[in-house]
Structure 1
């Protein structure tokens, strides 16, 4: 895990500090630049919260006491300022300070104890690099070199104490965690997490820094993650990088190859229908080796499933392997994918040998080591445990989460889409045997480590965001009524079109021979991963 994150960080144009700790095993999974000190931005508000709650616990204070808002504390980026409040309870101040990062509330909280008392308490609990030296929006002190600072290691230490309840009595600790779990800024650590995740965390950002840090609670376990980015020139891109690191960590710690995925596709293509009926609409295709979650045992033939990319449908039980022992090993070890249109799995590493089965592009497979194997061939293991051989050039390591730069991702996703040129149109399809418009786009993204909604829609909880047509770049998606295409540059787009009968390229330029007026004049939106 540490090596994967390190590779991602090396590709970043920013300076990233990060620590990840699995609370179930107590293992520190990632520690990169953990002890370097940096501007804390608004994550300083977490130790401020804990210090005040500790003070109230020790002194018998009241969270409902009302404080008058001092005029010198009124600053921008504040709900209190917007509402022109002149007073608030201490509980309100603490809550707004965390959940909306309210700067006026924070300034009042700093006055409540004073900087010296905060810094004394920080040292007392072992935060050796954390210090508060200015109020929010006090850029004069910042220019004098007096900034609020911390380190990834300090945040790791603080949140571990919060998680274990070692700083506050249960009543007060529960209040702290409750407030942190109500954080409203969800565009960093939670950005690419599809599942509803409980997270006690705090974001922080300035023009040149972006942070998000906290505890991720999952079924039966929890982990700490802190990602702190400095030397930032584009805040939106920095938040994306935090989200990508978070996604990689989540997949490693929580899913561990598939937490809720309790079946795996054992046929070349498993049809997903909208009803438990082979004559009903084909809505999707799950490809060989893909793990799925069985949601409902419908009858002796049918189950309702959810794919690992969160699409649901009905499929025949015969399309799935439901053996729990098989699943555990497969989900952990099937780390390769077929990239050729079709790949025959043969009984021996020579073209004259018998065929075991054929796989399509996108099928998951497990490459296993074999000494002395003939050059150009790879030994692979199937879901059943049977082994065979495929051409080495036809498989590659699965990209579970993309770690490339934006420019490289755009280039690769377009190249992947172009590999489907000429593929026949098939409603609900997503293999070289036949593919529809959203199947083409979702497969191109999936094969490069990004998971968008499978249908021609922009759905909350998935990573695409709407942009303007003028902002569109290669790899972005163009939406039409009931249709989607991928922009590939120079006014051209690739799509699987029922009207064109196959995957082809058309133009938005009316002067081009492959211009399609019916599409160019009915664009409903454009979306980007970036």
Structure 2
């Protein structure tokens, strides 16, 4: 490990560090962290406990994490899914892992007060949210899942975590076309380029790194441009796109401010002034 471990994936400060870094970094004390989960629909994760600090990434409802420290209304945490470290509001988490057994697979869904789509909505959920189901109900032919924390969600918008994953992550990404672009976003309400890759691959049963530089270094194998096919990834410095076919990409981008389809050649020409030429091509 380098002298200065990546702060995105390694929790360390002069006063405190995660136990796994005991022999790597100097800190006053080391902790293993306590299990918790996200208790609201979406929460930003920041590099500092400061609302004015930009968003690094987001955590979704029900996702597991470890709390390393709490102070002044903030929790310093590490995600159990992708290892990302940062600060989020203490009010956004609930103690205990309360192991989820279902996942939302629709781009967006709602938690209703009762098992009836005509009743008030308690809150909205993104694709990738994790749920603990306590029972089922049916109203006028629509089946609902009763959540352990209260409320009901349409069963067709979810799948059990132990069910077979999506067969084609590109098809998942395509369901998010026109989702607004959001720097640091990784939800059906707003998403960035690497968030699109991570979220769609997660539904296909593959846990991948969060940021595009991590994906470019670790995800799959390098290939040549002439070998590109559906499912391959194209990387620029600071950007990533998914090949929908040999000539078309899907990507969350700041040009359309959305998840959009674009011809690969047109994209290379259009964004060359900002990202220059692609830095690599990889096959997950």
What is the TM-score when the length of structure 2 is the normalising length? 0.79
- Unmatched 5+ stretches in structure 1: 1-193, 195-258
**Matched residues in 1 for 2:109 and 2:70: separation?**
33
Return the offset for 1:271: 0.8
Aligned to 1:377: 143
**Matched residues in 2 for 1:446 and 1:293: separation?**
20
Deviations 1:437-488 (A, max 9, x none): 1111110111111111110124699553322223332112110011011111
**Matched residues in 2 for 1:378 and 1:347: separation?**
11
Decide which of 343, 346, 354 is 2:112's aligned counterpart.
Answer: 346
Aligned to 1:366: 132
**Matched residues in 2 for 1:367 and 1:346: separation?**
14
- 1:316 maps to 2:123: no
Decide which of 300, 303, 308 is 2:75's aligned counterpart.
Answer: 303
Q: Secondary structure at the match of 2:178?
A: coil
Q: Is the 8 A contact 1:480 1:525 kept in 2?
A: yes
The 3 A distance-change label for structure 1 pair 524 and 516 is: closer
Return the offset for 1:261: 6.7
Q: Is the 8 A contact 1:479 1:525 kept in 2?
A: yes
Q: Secondary structure at the match of 1:293?
A: strand
**Matched residues in 2 for 1:371 and 1:282: separation?**
38
Q: CA RMSD in A?
A: 2.8
**Matched residues in 1 for 2:137 and 2:176: separation?**
34
Give the number of the structure whose residues are more often strand, by fraction.
Answer: 2
**Matched residues in 1 for 2:163 and 2:217: separation?**
18
Map residues 380-399 of structure 1 onto 2, 5 A cutoff: 380-381=146-147, 385-398=148-161
Aligned to 1:420: 176
- 1:527 maps to 2:282: yes
The 3 A distance-change label for structure 1 pair 309 and 298 is: same
- 1:273 maps to 2:46: yes
The 3 A distance-change label for structure 1 pair 372 and 440 is: closer
**Matched residues in 2 for 1:297 and 1:462: separation?**
29
Aligned to 1:288: 61
Higher-Rg member (1/2): 1
Deviations 1:49-101 (A, max 9, x none): xxxxxxxxxxxxxxxxxxxxxxxxxxxxxxxxxxxxxxxxxxxxxxxxxxxxx
The 3 A distance-change label for structure 1 pair 418 and 261 is: farther
Q: Is the 8 A contact 2:137 2:144 kept in 1?
A: no
Return the offset for 1:519: 4.0
Deviations 1:152-188 (A, max 9, x none): xxxxxxxxxxxxxxxxxxxxxxxxxxxxxxxxxxxxx
Q: Is the 8 A contact 2:113 2:121 kept in 1?
A: yes
Aligned to 1:485: 241
Return the offset for 1:417: 0.4
Deviations 1:481-512 (A, max 9, x none): 110111111310100111221111111245xx
**Matched residues in 1 for 2:209 and 2:34: separation?**
18
Q: Secondary structure at the match of 2:44?
A: strand
Q: Is the 8 A contact 1:379 1:387 kept in 2?
A: no
Aligned to 2:13: none
**Matched residues in 2 for 1:261 and 1:464: separation?**
32
Map residues 51-450 of structure 1 onto 2, 5 A cutoff: 262-294=35-67, 296-307=68-79, 308-322=81-95, 324=96, 327=97, 330-331=98-99, 334-370=100-136, 375-381=141-147, 385-398=148-161, 409=167, 412-450=168-206
**Matched residues in 2 for 1:463 and 1:261: separation?**
29
Decide which of 225, 229, 234 is 1:473's aligned counterpart.
Answer: 229
- Unmatched 5+ stretches in structure 2: 1-8, 10-31
**Matched residues in 2 for 1:375 and 1:527: separation?**
45
**Matched residues in 1 for 2:130 and 2:225: separation?**
35
**Matched residues in 1 for 2:162 and 2:236: separation?**
29
Q: Is the 8 A contact 1:478 1:486 kept in 2?
A: yes
